[in-house]
């Protein structure tokens, strides 16, 4: 089944993926394409609408990215955002210049007034906050365009030629800081492009299963299952499609959270696939003995994973396809059609040279992370796996500061489990992007009962973020932190102190190593 398509034409904006996610959230399928994509190729895709993204350049410079003006002759609606708005104005005869003074430049939250007669703003308040980020100024709108929004510094905050379906906004409706921004995008999709809203994960599951069966036939598929969201949903989708033709290799390196290995295995018990769980904990721990430097830990774990997977792939015998959990952000960031190669090296460390795969299968390569999670729910995966927070590939090895030992891992697992249990019981887990415990390399004096202790300190970390590029430390209620701290010190042998990390990213990273 084919879906209606909106093309997001990327001019180098930092929010290109976010625009595409907002379109998908509105029930409309879209793809991000570079502005250099030949016009004939874009036209052949038969889009119902096109969105020009923002970008860091100035449209009036000869070196700035452009699009063939023929795009405006198709009769396809176009929405220009920030640079995209200025580009539309520039190519259609308007005038864009550098702002002559600071008052014409706008950055950050800006009170904006809207013409609610314009299709983009119908049904919305006539005043709201938008997120501006532009140093250039649209001095004159093109002929035929009405001014449909303004701020105190910018009379051309939005423009529209509704007869031709062309709209431009100087602000960023895709970011959360813009009030009703998603509603504006939805209005463009449904009121202007007349979208049917035919993009759902229920439909994707049905069509993907059919396509996988046709592609794989009676072939055999091998997948490296990490237990993360992407690889788990890929495994479930393939299991739904080809069942016993799928072999999943789950390398249990002994660096997972409490009960996590058992939970991953249990999640796949409903499917008739070949689930291979490799208990490699001793093997990984022996390689990490005496190693304290974080990057060395990462490298050792990555290389050892490759070796274990290669050995298991050889035991599995001849395979026709290697399955990967590549998702759409990976494809966008790779830029070209070689995303499979980039991702395969990232996930598996390269194809085992003794296994002759015909092809790589990437059943999630069209999906964003939130769509992957929803697809997992459609497939019947448990919520504890589908809603799993980001977890580093090296696992708890980089949440144990310094040398990794079995004793330290056991302490950390118990402390982390207590933290997660209390967060879930309080409901705080619903509001936070990521939270976990780390075992520091600090030992300090304490008093427990009538005796002196000299034990480890556990650091608790919780953050809120939209994109994980930056993050703010979470203001957890004191009474919750008190319960967690008391339980950890009382219940985890070898720990006599609990700390709460109040450092944002930057300057810190989210993980401790």
* DSSP 8-class letter at 260: H
Distance CA 233, CA 375 (A): 7
Catalytic residue among 3, 26, 106, 174: 174
What does the block give as tokens for 213? Answer: 């069966």
Catalytic residue among 26, 30, 82, 118: 82
Which CA distances in Å does 166 have to 76, 139, 195? 9, 18, 16
* Site of tokens 């985890």: 492
Catalytic residue among 3, 172, 180, 253: 172
Listed residue (440, 449, 417) closest to 497, CA to CA = 440
Distance CA 346, CA 340 (A): 10
Distance CA 29, CA 308 (A): 39
Distance CA 362, CA 339 (A): 10
Those residues whose C-beta lies under 8 Å from the C-beta of residue 31, and which sit 6 or more positions away, are: 5, 7, 8, 20, 45
82 part of the active site? yes
193 part of the active site? no
333 part of the active site? no
Q: Provide the sign of the torsion angle of the four alpha carbons 283, 285, 290, 295, taken in this order.
A: positive
What is the biggest distance separating any 2 CA atoms in the chain, rounded to whole angstroms?
A: 85
Distance CA 440, CA 456 (A): 7
Distance CA 418, CA 436 (A): 10
Is the distance from CB of 470 to CB of 507 less than 8 angstroms?
Answer: no
State the catalytic residues.
82, 172, 174
């Amino acid at each position: 089944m084919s879906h209606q398509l909106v093309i997001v034409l990327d001019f180098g904006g930092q929010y290109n993926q976010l625009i595409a996610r907002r379109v998908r959230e509105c029930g409309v399928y879209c793809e991000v394409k570079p502005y250099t994509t030949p016009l004939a190729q874009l036209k052949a895709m038969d889009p119902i609408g096109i969105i020009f993204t923002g970008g860091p350049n100035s449209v009036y410079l000869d070196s700035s990215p452009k699009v063939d003006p023929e795009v405006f002759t198709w009769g396809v609606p176009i929405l220009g955002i920030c640079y995209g708005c200025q580009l539309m104005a520039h190519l259609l005869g308007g005038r864009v210049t550098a702002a002559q003074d600071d008052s014409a430049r706008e950055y950050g939250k800006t009170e904006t007034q809207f013409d609610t007669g314009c299709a983009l703003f119908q049904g919305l308040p006539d005043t709201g906050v938008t997120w501006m980020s532009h140093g250039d100024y649209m001095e004159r709108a093109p002929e035929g365009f009405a001014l449909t929004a303004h701020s105190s510094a910018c009379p051309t905050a939005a423009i529209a030629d509704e007869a031709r379906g062309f709209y431009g906004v100087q602000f960023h409706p895709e970011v959360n800081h813009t009030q009703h921004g998603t509603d504006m995008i939805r209005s463009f999709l449904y009121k202007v492009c007349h979208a049917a809203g035919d993009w759902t994960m229920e439909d994707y599951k049905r069509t993907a299963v059919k396509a996988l069966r046709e592609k794989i036939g009676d072939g055999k598929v091998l997948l490296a299952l990490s237990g993360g969201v992407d690889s788990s949903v890929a495994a479930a989708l393939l299991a739904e499609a080809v069942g016993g033709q799928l072999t999943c290799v789950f390398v249990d390196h002994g660096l997972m959270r409490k009960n996590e290995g058992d939970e991953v295995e249990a999640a796949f018990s409903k499917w008739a696939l070949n689930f291979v769980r490799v208990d490699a904990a001793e093997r990984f721990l022996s390689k990490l003995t005496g190693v304290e430097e974080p990057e060395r830990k990462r490298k050792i774990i990555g290389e050892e994973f490759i070796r274990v997977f290669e050995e298991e792939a050889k035991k599995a015998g001849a395979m026709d396809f290697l399955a990967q959990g590549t998702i759409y952000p990976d494809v966008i960031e790779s830029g070209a059609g070689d995303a499979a190669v980039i991702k395969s090296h990232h996930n598996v460390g390269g194809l085992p040279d003794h296994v002759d795969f015909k092809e790589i299968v990437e059943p999630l390569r069209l999906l964003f992370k939130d769509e992957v999670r929803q697809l997992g729910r459609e497939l019947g995966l448990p919520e504890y796996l589908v809603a799993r927070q980001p977890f580093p590939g090296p696992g708890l090895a980089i949440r144990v500061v310094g040398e990794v030992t079995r004793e330290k891992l056991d302490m950390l697992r118990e402390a982390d489990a207590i933290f997660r249990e209390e967060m879930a019981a309080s409901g705080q887990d619903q509001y936070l992007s990521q939270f976990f415990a780390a075992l520091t390399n600090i030992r300090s004096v304490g008093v427990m009962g009538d005796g002196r202790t000299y034990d480890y300190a556990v650091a608790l970390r919780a953050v809120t973020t939209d994109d994980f590029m930056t993050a703010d430390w979470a203001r957890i209620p004191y009474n919750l932190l008190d319960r967690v701290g008391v339980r950890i010190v009382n219940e985890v042998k070898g720990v006599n102190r609990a700390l709460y990390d109040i450092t944002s990213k930057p300057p810190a990273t989210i993980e401790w190593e």
